[in-house]
Structures are given as C-alpha cells and as structure tokens.
Chains A and B, each alone.
Chain A
Amino acid sequence: MERTEIIEKLTAVFHEVFNDNNIVLSDEMTAKDVENWDSLTHMLMITKVEETFGIKFKLKELNKLKMVGDLINTIETKLQ
C-alpha cells in the first residue's frame, strides 16, 4: 500500500474516532494536538487502525509511537 493511501485511510479513522472531520494528519502531530486524544480514544483508534489495515500491534510498538509519523511508518512496515 502506498504511503498516501495509508494516510488517506488513517485520516478517515481519525475523523471517526476523534469526532472531527477537520483533522489533517501530519508527521509531527502528537496526542497533545488533538483535543480528544486520551487513553480511551487512543485505544479506539488503535483498534480501528488494526481492523482497517488488517494488522496487529505489539505493546513495544505502541510504546514507540510518539508522533503520527511513527504510526504511519509502523503501519507501512507491518504491511510489507
């Protein structure tokens, strides 16, 4: 899957989970930049990402996700 396609699908997940269709993803974006991004919505988002891309994260991988860019990279790696 192309990176642009990943970002497109991920954007849809973010819009749904965080209830905000104006979110524009960027590599540097963190939980601090999204109003509703806390433990609960993070969990919902991760579950949705796993469903959407048909992948499964390890806790160690989630641990390293500091920015949205890390998430995109991890999805990309796992899809290869």
Chain B
Amino acid sequence: MIWSDCIYEYDGSYYGLLCCVFDSYTRKETPVSIVAGELPQTTLYPLHTVETEAAHARRILKSLNERSKLAAELARRAYLTCLADREVSIYRMIRKLYEEGPAFLKNPADPAVYPLHVAIRQLFGELEKLRGFIRFSLFDGVYAAEIEPKNRVLPALRGHFCNRFADQAFLIYDRTHKEGLFYAHGNWRIIPLDSFEMARPDQAEAAYRRLWKTFYDTISIKERENPRCQRTHMPLRYRTVMTEFQDEGYFLPREDAPGTLCSVPSCPVLPENGRK
C-alpha cells in the first residue's frame, strides 16, 4: 500500500508529537509538515488533527527505547530545541529507525540525524550559558528570574537549579515560550504563564544589585579591555536580563515599605512531583 502525504496538527506537547508518529503508522500517511496548534493558512494537502492519547504515546516511547536508547534521547532533546522543522525532523529520524534499524544513528553525518545533532549542540550551549547567566531577585521570600532563550530550556535547566537551590522557593520565567518553572519545598511545576513582570526591588534587593554591579565593574582590568572576547563568551542577546547590564533605574529601590509583594505571581500549591 502506498503511503499518502498529509499535514498533521498536534497540541504541541511531547506526547502529542509521539502520537503523530503513532497515527502516521495506523493511517499509513507521511506527514510533510507537523504543526503545533492550528495551521494558519489553508493547504492542498489533507489535514489531520492528532488527538493526544497517553497510551499511544507510551507505546511509541516503549518501542523507541527497545530499539535504541540513543534515538529516544535524541528525540526527547531535539523536541526542546528551536530547530525550524523539529517535529518533521524527529519524525523522519524515528521513521528511519523503524525501517532500517539503529545502525545509522552511529553515523553523525547521516542526513536524518545531523540536523538534530546540530540543534541539540546549540541547545546544550545555551544551557551551559544560562546556568551561569540567570540572575535571581528576592521578592518576599521568592527568588524570581527572567530569561529569553531561543530553545525551550526550562525542562533541561530544572535539574540543576532545583538541586542547587533546593532550600529556596524560586521561579524562572521564560519570556520566549511564555512559561514558568516554579519550585518550592522539593516540588516543581512548569506552567504556561502569559505575562510576568518583575516588581521594583525593595531596599535590600536593590542593595545587592548595586553591590554586584560594583563588583562587576571593578573586577575588570582597564589595560586589558577586550570587548570582542567578552562578546564571544557572552553574546549580547543574553545581556538583556542580566543585572550587570541594566540601566540606572534597575538599581533604585521602591519607595513604599519593603517586603510587599507586587506582581510576582504567587507560587501555585505544589503537592507532588509534577510533570506538565
């Protein structure tokens, strides 16, 4: 039987993507494009909306792991990247695995794997930078930070920050993907959050910001100044949310009494180790 071409819509979740693989096999269709949410324009290809069913996704996950742990890991990581057509690239890799077996995964130059490797390398680079560059501010017992990453980094950053700051309550807000990682008392959640604005700092927080800025400015040796080297290690796009590159207003404290909660969303109740 000949497989027909079509376009898939899915809900954007990882399980949803795995269900696309499942549906493609049950319906004997090759998706030429897989779109999260709704397709913006009309198309000549037949369109199918994939329903996310946990049971289907788990079957795919199980068979992936049986064939190759490496492929399962590759798919999971590539899903977090900002690769333009990541869904179809992941689909092609999985399809090739089912058709040919896992041998091709060992060849990093294989066309089904190479784009995934490149994207994942970029994701890892961003993760490494962000582990250092994230800046928390303390608001009424909750440490809050904002980031503007290219990739969906929160699931991958979670381990590091929940381990290091296990005794803090914190929130990292991802402006690009509009979601937040909440953590308190050993429990975490990654929750979609449409908007988030950091409040003006209280006296103590403003003082810490200024201390850090002072330290940052002092520690550089004037005779060795080298902006090109600095830019290589710390590209400009990361600096938008870093304390040491903010303008004067960022270091001024609020006038009102310190300690009142402004616009930090209250931490949701976190009853158990959750997975979104």
Task: Determine if chain A interacts with chain B.
Answer: no
